[in-house]
Amino acid sequence: MSILKDKNILLGITAGIAAYKSASLVRLFIKAGANVKVVMTPASKDFVTPLTLSTLSKNEVFSSFVDETDDNQVWNNHVELGLWADLFVIAPATANTLAKMANGVCDNILLATYLSAKCPVYFAPAMDLDMYKHQSTKTSFSKLISFGNKMIPAGTGELASGLVGEGRMAEPETIINFIEKDILDQLPLRGKKVLITAGPTYESLDPVRFIGNHSSGKMGFEIAKASANLGAQVILVTGPTHQSITHDNVDLKPVISAEDMYNEVHNYFLDSDIAILSAAVADYRPKNVADQKIKKKDSTFTIELEKTKDILKSCGEIKDKQFLVGFALETNNELENAKGKLQSKNLDLIVLNSLQDKGAGFGVSTNKVTFITSGNDIVEHELKSKAEVASDLMQQILKQIDA
């Protein structure tokens, strides 16, 4: 999955012959899972039509401040466009537009949107060789880069004039790769390994029945997604669940029992930088597992249970460089019990949630948590979606790691 998935990308198109490549660029952004809107300079419509771009992007294309064909003349809000975008990519970027951007000239909707944008801005120059090498163009490049904009270098090849040299707009695939790499290189967990557990465990009674719990695994899967989106390589060890995840940075390891999860966790723990053990692991399992289905005979039935291995404690006992996070689902004396677990299992952070809080716990899409750090800091959060809780958790971990 591309890092561009679900990103809002605003594509700016200026009046250069390379504008014909913009259609392919839109298609590649869409293929990567991005949402795309297009803003054009009026002159760029001589090179590629708004109809083509709106069809490919499935969004209205903007090329003027008002729709002149509409008697009501509704204003196209460049400020909203700029705020909508997670990324603004100007490709092709002509010498004329680059000079205007560098000097704050604002005479069309693309330039007005650029001056309103709060997001990262990438520009892909496209012009003839002599224009590309001219000192005024170099000055535009330098000024724009000094403003924090990202330049996607032009390629070398045959130009529209017939000359051969620099100035050819980077190919759409090159532009996508440049942006993806730039984003990935800035992610705070780039190069880090994160181990996560999720879901319940099932402890067999016989070939048919098991002891389990109501965990859906959703919290752990959201944490895995949040970690991967921050650049981490994630090992997700999950018990039986209907949850799914598709991300290039997530390696899914399905298990069934607490013993399975213990073994799989210890396969990866020592090589991890961060371990977040959110699974609802069974504390006990049947001491004897029947080979055949247990028949219903008596009015009562007794099962002898034995303790399972404590995965979280075992990791706390051998941790070295790892940042270790545990979860505590409590029903009474919540804070006291969570603090005790934090200390006894040698954790860096524990996530407390209570079944007393409406909207928290198993089988729901929300959670209400409190973070307790090894320094005894207590950070309470309101009821949020589990995706938001996962994001809060990762920010808390980054804060403690960077402290």
Active site residues per annotation? 213
Residue 400 has which token pair?
Answer: 């403690």
Choose among 311, 329, 229, 239: nearest CA to 275.
311
Listed in sequence order, the DSSP H helices in 242-310 are: 258-268
Backbone angles phi, psi at 399, to 5 degrees: -60, -45
Q: In the chain, count of helices (H) and strands (E)?
A: 13, 22
Q: Is 207 left (phi over 0), alpha (psi -120 to 50) or beta?
A: alpha
CA–CA distances in Å: residue 351 to residues 15, 123, 265, 358, 371: 54, 43, 19, 17, 5
Choose among 263, 275, 289, 101: nearest CA to 204.
289
Backbone angles phi, psi at 60, to 5 degrees: -60, 145
Encoded amino acid at 334, one letter: E
Residue 386 has which token pair?
Answer: 């589990």
